[in-house]
Amino acid sequence: MTDRLPPTDWLNDPRTVAVMDALEIQGGPDCARFVGGCVRNALVGKPVLDIDIATRLTPDRVIAAATAAGLKPVPTGVEHGTVTVVSSKRPYEVTTLRRDVETDGRRAVVAFTDDWAEDAARRDFRLNALYADRSGVIFDPTGRGIEDAKAGRIVFVGEAETRIREDALRILRFFRFQAHFGRGDLDADGLAACARLSELVEGLSAERVSTELLKLLAADDPRPTVRSMAEAGVLARVLPGHAGLSVFETMVDVSPDPALRLSALLPADADVVREAAARLRLSNALRDRLAAAVDDGTVQAVSTAVQARAAVYRLGGRVVLDRLARRQAAGADPTTLSEARAVATDWTPPRLPVGGREIAALGIAPGPETGRLLKAFEAAWIAADFPTTGHAQRLARLARG
């Protein structure tokens, strides 16, 4: 029985059809097949976000085919055989069949081929080495990819150690794919190879590591996989000095946000968090968010709506919500946090209702006294829970001392 993809919209999308028509006009029938994630996801019923195409055509012929068809070719990675073909604003990564000539654990030198099996042999896992023609017929060069996808098994193509030495990022991809697609125990040979070669992770670029880590943490339930990473010694390579798994285990139930899950793996020390963020080359925004999620006591004491509004005014709703999530993950009763969480989610802090002009109207010359009065007024206004009237009287009392 021939395996086919289930009915799927993207396969017959006019934009997809236009790309496949263009390639086949240039290279004939069966010169191009869908490959990797789109085939795997369609097979197991997960959403297809990106569509990759493998082809026997060389990059120059892909560009010629796209141009002749009125599509837009973008040479995003021609040295590795990849041309992005844009069809009615939708991008399709079209990559020439390849075989590895030389690898160093971080990057590969490739040669083009017209052999589907050679192309499959250089891929990471058997469930990712699946191809499908435009009619949906699936091709499985390793002979086990369809079976693995349906069973939720993440198994390296060929020998695990060989695949890892070609690109050490495959250690993290092994765990990431297990978190998203795996069911049951991790493949024993693959896990052993990842543990044995875990030190190779330290030679990877920080950006590649952090991207894989955040994708892993975005899985519905990454806890079993992260436990296995820790036992294999891989987590310590990625996050030296991590805080253990106890808060993380609870945080997974608290929030699906990978940033908060990462925060729960890090110590409750803002300086240490910043160091970890720098080591992972996280964006400035994510670095600052992770550091701000470490509570300095401001939110630790919050239990009422009044206290929550004061905290949101000073810190912002996002910071308060993150700190509340960490409190809950650390063991706080969520019912005691609900009022504060509602305020942080829905309340918009008002602007300070007085400024230098109101102080000048009291006959006070611009200078240090203006700043002192503004700070004193703001503190009193916050303590009174942001009243909307009586500002002039309150300011006058403060000015009188």
Residue 110, phi then psi, degrees to nearest 5? -120, 160
Q: What is the dihedral of CA 8, 9, 14, 17, to 10 degrees?
A: -10
With cut-offs at 50, 70 and 90, classify the pLDDT of residue 107: low
**Rounded mean pLDDT, 59-65:** 96
Residue 92, phi then psi, degrees to nearest 5? -130, 125
Tell me the percentage of the chain whose pLDDT exceeds 90.
86
Question: Which residue has 């709703």 as its token pair?
Answer: 317
Give me the pLDDT at residue 255, please: 97
Classify residue 220 by burial, with Cβ atoms within 10 Å: 0-12, 13-18, 19+: exposed
Residue 213, phi then psi, degrees to nearest 5? -65, -45
Please list the alpha-helical segments (H only) found in 197-304.
Answer: 206-217, 223-231, 234-238, 246-254, 258-265, 270-279, 284-292
With 90 as the cut, is the pLDDT of residue 275 above it? yes
Same domain, yes or no: 329 and 267: yes
Same domain, yes or no: 304 and 264: yes
Give me the pLDDT at residue 104, please: 58
Cα–Cα dist 345/203, whole Å: 41
Give me the pLDDT at residue 162, please: 94
Do 87 and 18 touch, CB atoms closer than 8 A?
yes
Give me the pLDDT at residue 303, please: 86
**Rounded mean pLDDT, 323-337:** 94
Handedness of CA 129, 133, 139, 141 (dihedral sign): negative
With 60 as the cut, is the pLDDT of residue 1 above it? no
Same domain, yes or no: 65 and 205: no
Domain boundary among 151, 185, 217: 151
Count of structural domains, the chain: 4
Cα–Cα dist 385/280, whole Å: 40
With cut-offs at 50, 70 and 90, classify the pLDDT of residue 331: very high
Task: Give residues with Cβ within 8 angstroms of 2, minimum separation 6.
Answer: 137, 138
Judging by DSSP bridges, how do beta strands 52-55 and 32-35 pair with one another?
A: antiparallel
Same domain, yes or no: 333 and 361: no
Q: Give CA separation, 338 vs 157, 327, 332, 342, 345, in Å.
A: 48, 12, 11, 6, 10
Domain boundary among 349, 366, 391: 349
DSSP tag of 203: G
Same domain, yes or no: 26 and 81: yes
With 80 as the cut, is the pLDDT of residue 399 above it? yes
Average pLDDT, the chain: 94
With 80 as the cut, is the pLDDT of residue 77 above it? yes
Same domain, yes or no: 124 and 185: no
Same domain, yes or no: 279 and 314: yes
Distance from the first to the final alpha carbon of the chain: 90
Residues 78-100 pLDDT 10s: 888 999 999 999 999 999 999 87
Helix H or strand E encompassing 348: none
Give me the pLDDT at residue 108, please: 63
Tell me the percentage of the chain whose pLDDT exceeds 70.
98
**Rounded mean pLDDT, 350-362:** 91
Q: Which two tokens stand for residue 53?
A: 């195409």
Cα–Cα dist 23/53, whole Å: 10
**Rounded mean pLDDT, 17-34:** 96
**Rounded mean pLDDT, 297-302:** 88
Do 373 and 397 touch, CB atoms closer than 8 A?
no
With 70 as the cut, is the pLDDT of residue 35 above it? yes
The candidate with the shortest Cα–Cα distance to 353, out of 380, 379, 378, is: 378
Same domain, yes or no: 295 and 392: no
Question: Is 115 strand, coil or helix?
Answer: coil
CATH number assigned to the domain comprising residue 108: 3.30.460.10
> Between residues 106 and 370, which one has the greater pLDDT?
370
DSSP 36-81: THHHHHHHHT------EEEESS-HHHHHHHHHHTT-EEEEEEGGGT
With 70 as the cut, is the pLDDT of residue 103 above it? no
CATH number assigned to the domain comprising residue 221: 1.10.3090.10
Task: Give residues with Cβ within 8 angstroms of 269, minimum separation 6.
Answer: 294
> In terms of residue numbers, what domain contains 165?
156-238
Same domain, yes or no: 255 and 166: no
Strand partners, 74: 84
Domain boundary among 331, 349, 367: 349
Cα–Cα dist 238/281, whole Å: 12
* Stated length of the chain: 401
Residue 280, phi then psi, degrees to nearest 5? -85, 0
Number of helical H runs and strand E runs in the chain: 21, 9
The candidate with the shortest Cα–Cα distance to 211, out of 278, 281, 267, is: 281
Same domain, yes or no: 81 and 1: yes
With 80 as the cut, is the pLDDT of residue 102 above it? no
Same domain, yes or no: 41 and 100: yes
Strand partners, 105: 167
Same domain, yes or no: 189 and 305: no
